[in-house]
Chains A and B, each alone.
Chain A
Amino acid sequence: MSIAISDIKTQELYSPDISEIIAIKRFTEKEKWFEIRLPEGRSLGHQPGQFVQVSLFGAGEAPISVTSSPTKEGSFELCVREVGMLTKIFHNLKVGSTIGIRGPYGKGFDVESFKGKDILIIGGGIGIVPLRSLINYVIDNRKDYGRLIILYGAKTPDELLYPDDLKLWDKSNDIEYHITVDQGTPEWKGNTGVITTLIPGLDLDLPNTITAVVGPPIMYKFVLMSLKTKRIPDKNIYLSLERRMKCGVGKCGHCQINHSYICQDGPVYHYPELKHLQEAI
């Protein structure tokens, strides 16, 4: 193999755009929501399910999913869970602070090909973050899609994200919304139990339903088993994977599973593709 390297146009891959935080909300003890404005209010131009590399000088970079829909213009949103150094520093930033943004990166949900279909969303914990981009996209293009069914599960009621959105989804006649927590509190009136308990009761138009699943690694095994029992064909399932990432552009090797770089071919995968990748789930 020989590549004529002098003919190739190079790309500046590691230079972030310095962007401004224009709004912040705290959702839970661990999660905060940030609204970000790129230079000149440029639009990010992402697909639901894609991520950006957030850059905080001194702390490094971290991949974070875009949680707003591409239909929202002028700014985009992130939701960050505090788990380590970078995310902790991020949480301490104030409105008006600047951060670096690279991206959007990876492959998101192929919303074009979902047109006309019913959309079943299954989000566990922080998995709802990228799914919320898809949900809002479908809501903003409501006539292009069939039913919108949302299953959302969290460990406890205190860990539920997006309180305003949840109220909207709950009230909307156009959205079938089911929520559960692993462990309730005395005030909790809703379902308790893991997210898979919501699946058997669904009445679905099987061949016409696209399922988008995002959650912690352990959730996938159980959800996929339930979906199988429910006879949802594999080809109608999409899921998003998480791995360590350093570059986001297919160079550093950290996110590799088999011959696939998650930052390039994922994070959203069509399930039939993943079945051939050992180590994926």
Chain B
Amino acid sequence: MKKYQLNKKQLPSFIDHLKKQGTVFAPHKKGDASYSFAKVVESDSVILEYNRTLNSIKKYFLPPRELLLSYSRKDNSYKKGTIGKEKKIFLGVHSYDMKAVLKLDYNFTEGNPEENYLLRRRNSSFIGVSFIPDEFHFSQSVGMPVHDTDGFDIYLEKNDDGYTVKIITEKGEKLIKEFNGLCDALDISSNHIQFQNKLKYNYNRLPEVFEQSWNAEVWEEVAKRCVGCGTCNLVCPTCYCFDVEDNMDLSLQNGTRDRSWDGCMLNDFAAVAGGENFRKSLADRQRHRIFRKFRYITYITGEPWCVGCGRCTAYCTAGISIVDIVNQLCDEYEQKYLNRPVEQSGLNLEGL
């Protein structure tokens, strides 16, 4: 793997170099304490040191709202929505969000490969950046090392003077070619970044816990506090469920068929005409949400479908923590199935 040194003050010119090759998307400050991926206009407004963006880059491949068809009721004709084929470069992506894109690739290609997703997803390059985990991150516990470069074309590893630039793919090599000003890599290691292992069990032991967790007490307990707002679904980088809706324009002749993000925590997600709702209670819906991350797709692919970004916890309206839920499931499992006393885990499970 080729390595270079990119000094901090070279960053804007590096971004300008990228802009010549495609549309660049990178994190920007949003309000006082929040970050958001946006198209780069001013290279020096890009922020590469951030804890997490409100939404992941999923929004570029599966937009929050997307036109599928536009139709005319007069003659029942329709046209598909058009999808741009511009080259996109994502700069400053954290490893867990990259991993989430690789998981969405599976969901949108498995069975019926979806044109809309794939047209948006193709022609994308990814430049990752290292980050310092905060109290909500737990990617380590779902199987990702600190510097997980899976999916990246280039990886920027922070050091005191700037970044070590690691060229991971040929595509990455091309992106950086002709950028003058890179120096030889400095001989410094940044292994001072540590992830804390926050889940009680390592991810590869979780299937055995989840096999016994259908009737766990935690679902009812969490349901007491959850308000069913669906925020945890919307911010999750691996949630991909959507709704489809027809919208008419004022003439009532023409309209569009649009899809938008949906969430399994919302009350009518599994409701059908005639009053039946297959997941009526919040406890049922919480179980579904968490099982989707740790059991259902995992059963088929062997991988957890949670990447440990911590968003669902950081942004939950009711302060519900996915780490606490999983740890409580582990405790219940030990108590009921392994007949062991609960260890003091040091986690605050009160009022969960």
Could you list which residues of chain A lie within 8 angstroms of chain B, going by C-beta atoms?
1-3, 5-6, 8-16, 18, 57-61, 83-84, 87, 98-100, 217, 242-244, 246-247, 249-254, 256-259, 264, 278-279
CA distance A24 to B262 in the complex (A): 36
Q: Which residues of B contact A244 (CB under 8 A)?
A: 269-272, 278
Q: Is B121 close to A, CB under 8 A?
A: yes
Q: Is B334 close to A, CB under 8 A?
A: no
Contact A57 B257 (CB under 8 A): yes
A-B contact pairs, 9 of them (CB 8 A): A2-B102, A14-B80, A57-B73, A60-B245, A250-B112, A252-B259, A254-B241, A254-B269, A259-B299
B114 touches which one: A13, A259, A279 (CB < 8 A)? Answer: A13
Write the chain A residue with the least CB distance to B299. A259
Contact A246 B115 (CB under 8 A): no
Known contacts A13-B114, A244-B271, A259-B299; decide if A57 and B76 are in contact (CB<8 Å): yes
Q: Which residues of A contact B257 (CB under 8 A)?
A: 14, 57, 60
Q: Which residues of A contact B103 (CB under 8 A)?
A: 1
| Residue of A57, A60, A242 contacting most chain B CB atoms (<10 Å) | A57
Q: Is B122 close to A, CB under 8 A?
A: yes
Contact A8 B113 (CB under 8 A): yes
Contact A243 B118 (CB under 8 A): no
CA distance A249 to B107 in the complex (A): 11
Per-residue CB contact flags for chain B residues 107-144 toward chain A (1 = under 8 Å, else 0) read: 11111111110110110000000000000000000000
CA distance A98 to B74 in the complex (A): 11
- Which residues of B (244-293) have their CB < 8 Å from a CB of A? 244-246, 248, 252, 255, 257, 259, 262, 264, 269-274, 276, 278-279, 284, 288, 291-292
Write the chain B residue with the least CB distance to A57. B71
Contact A250 B110 (CB under 8 A): yes
Q: Is B296 close to A, CB under 8 A?
A: yes
- Nearest CB of A to B255, in Å: 6
CA distance A249 to B68 in the complex (A): 15
- Nearest CB of B to A274, in Å: 14
Q: Is B179 close to A, CB under 8 A?
A: no
A279 touches which one: B78, B122, B278 (CB < 8 A)? Answer: B278
Q: Which residues of A contact B97 (CB under 8 A)?
A: none
Contact A247 B244 (CB under 8 A): yes
Known contacts A242-B272, A244-B271; decide if A250 and B115 are in contact (CB<8 Å): no
Contact A253 B262 (CB under 8 A): yes
Write the chain B residue with the least CB distance to A99. B76
- Nearest CB of A to B218, in Å: 16
Contact A3 B105 (CB under 8 A): yes
Q: Which residues of A contact B269 (CB under 8 A)?
A: 244, 254
Q: Which residues of B contact A99 (CB under 8 A)?
A: 76
Q: Which residues of A contact B14 (CB under 8 A)?
A: none
Q: Which residues of B contact A217 (CB under 8 A)?
A: 276
A11 touches which one: B115, B270, B288 (CB < 8 A)? Answer: B115
CA distance A58 to B78 in the complex (A): 12
- Nearest CB of A to B149, in Å: 12
CA distance A16 to B79 in the complex (A): 11
CA distance A217 to B275 in the complex (A): 12
Contact A11 B264 (CB under 8 A): no
Per-residue CB contact flags for chain B residues 72-114 toward chain A (1 = under 8 Å, else 0) read: 1100111010000000000000000000001101111111111
- Nearest CB of A to B288, in Å: 8
A251 touches which one: B102, B107, B252, B276 (CB < 8 A)? Answer: B107
A61 touches which one: B113, B150, B244, B273 (CB < 8 A)? Answer: B244
Q: Is B242 close to A, CB under 8 A?
A: yes
Q: Which residues of B contact A259 (CB under 8 A)?
A: 295-297, 299-300
Q: Is B189 close to A, CB under 8 A?
A: no
Q: Which residues of A contact B264 (CB under 8 A)?
A: 253
Q: Is B69 close to A, CB under 8 A?
A: yes
Contact A249 B113 (CB under 8 A): no
Contact B71 A250 (CB under 8 A): no
- Nearest CB of A to B132, in Å: 26
Write the chain B residue with the least CB distance to A242. B272
CA distance A279 to B283 in the complex (A): 13
Contact B76 A98 (CB under 8 A): yes
Write the chain B residue with the least CB distance to A10. B115
Q: Is B237 close to A, CB under 8 A?
A: no
Q: Is B243 close to A, CB under 8 A?
A: yes
Q: Which residues of B contact A61 (CB under 8 A)?
A: 244
Write the chain A residue with the least CB distance to B68. A14
CA distance A58 to B105 in the complex (A): 31
CA distance A247 to B245 in the complex (A): 11
CA distance A264 to B110 in the complex (A): 11
- Nearest CB of A to B125, in Å: 12
Q: Which residues of A contact B301 (CB under 8 A)?
A: 1
Beyond A3-B106, A58-B73, A252-B241, 9 extra complex contacts between A and B, CB < 8 Å: A5-B118, A11-B114, A18-B76, A57-B76, A57-B246, A243-B272, A249-B112, A254-B262, A254-B269
Q: Is B151 close to A, CB under 8 A?
A: yes
- Which residues of B (276-332) have their CB < 8 Å from a CB of A? 276, 278-279, 284, 288, 291-292, 295-297, 299-301, 303
